[in-house]
Amino acid sequence: MIENYLDINPDVRDTLAQNRPVVALESTIISHGMPYPQNKETALLVEQIVRDNGAIPATIAIINGKIKVGLNNDEIDYLARSGNKIVKASRRDIPYLLSKKIDGATTVASTMIAADLAGIRVFATGGIGGVHRGASQSFDISADLQELSNTNVAVVCAGIKAILDLGLTLEYLETFGIPVLGYKTKELPAFYTQKSGFQVNYKMNSASEIAKLLKTKWDLNLKGGVLITNPIPKEKQLDYKIMNTAIEAAITEEKKLGIKGKESTPFLLAKVKELTGGLSLKANIELVYNNAKLAAQIAKYYAK
């Protein structure tokens, strides 16, 4: 029955059948992350980085009533050109979009779901969603966290998006037993920078070490994902003070405008980009490249 809704690219399907490494990639970063043609160029380069590091990329989206696992160049171009016209699709949106044959760009949560359905265990993204600042009043908590507690996919990222409440997000992850790993670091990276003031659960020094942990977790039937935080390269990071000043200003304006819910994260990221003169977007692109490389390396060892 699932075949009615799932369309796996033949290259991806063959690679999985041969137990060779595949890395899942989201599509929200294409349609909602940056303007055309920069979004297309970035998406294609991320796929190439995965290939250069020994794995096959599987960019995921919802197109014409199907969850597509492994987009071709024309499909990536379509998402890139369409931009914000494409619906941002999380878990709750999947049944509606599929039943109505409405196209959707997958978030962290929905990409995890699709990857799991296809049998892909490693996923590279920029940063995950989490507990929003002021969540004690708004109850605004990303679906990404619930997905990590339920779905057996490892997420390689540069940490929790810095616009969020990092401390509360870590508490939430702990409550649901989601391991937070730091690649060659004990400090949780804060998306645009290496610095956050918070610690990860475990420092991991190699991709093979991470792959062994994933195998052990799932061999024990311990349901749920693993968060692998990979710091942005030092020379590419945003200045910590500049980042925090921009975030505080963006949050102040968000409150004035009354922006809430699904529109909050896109607004804040766009405002931070504006306030940093585009430096945050440059950092975002660099960290995605860095995560794609590590994810491919982990996928290679996990496939063994």
Q: Count how many Cα atoms sit within 13 Å of the Cα of residue 188 in the half-sphere of its side chain.
A: 21
187 is catalytic: no
Catalytic choice (161, 271, 273, 293): 161
Q: Which of 109, 125, 126 shows the shortest CA–CA distance to 58?
A: 125
209 is catalytic: no
**Angle, CA of 221, 146 and 210, to the nearest 5°:** 50
Residue 22 CB partners (closer than 8 Å, separation 6+): 12, 15, 16, 55, 56, 57, 58, 120, 122, 299
| Encoded tokens for 137 | 């009043």
Gap between the Cα atoms of 169 and 175, Å rounded = 10
Gap between the Cα atoms of 291 and 1, Å rounded = 34
| Residues belonging to the active site | 26, 161
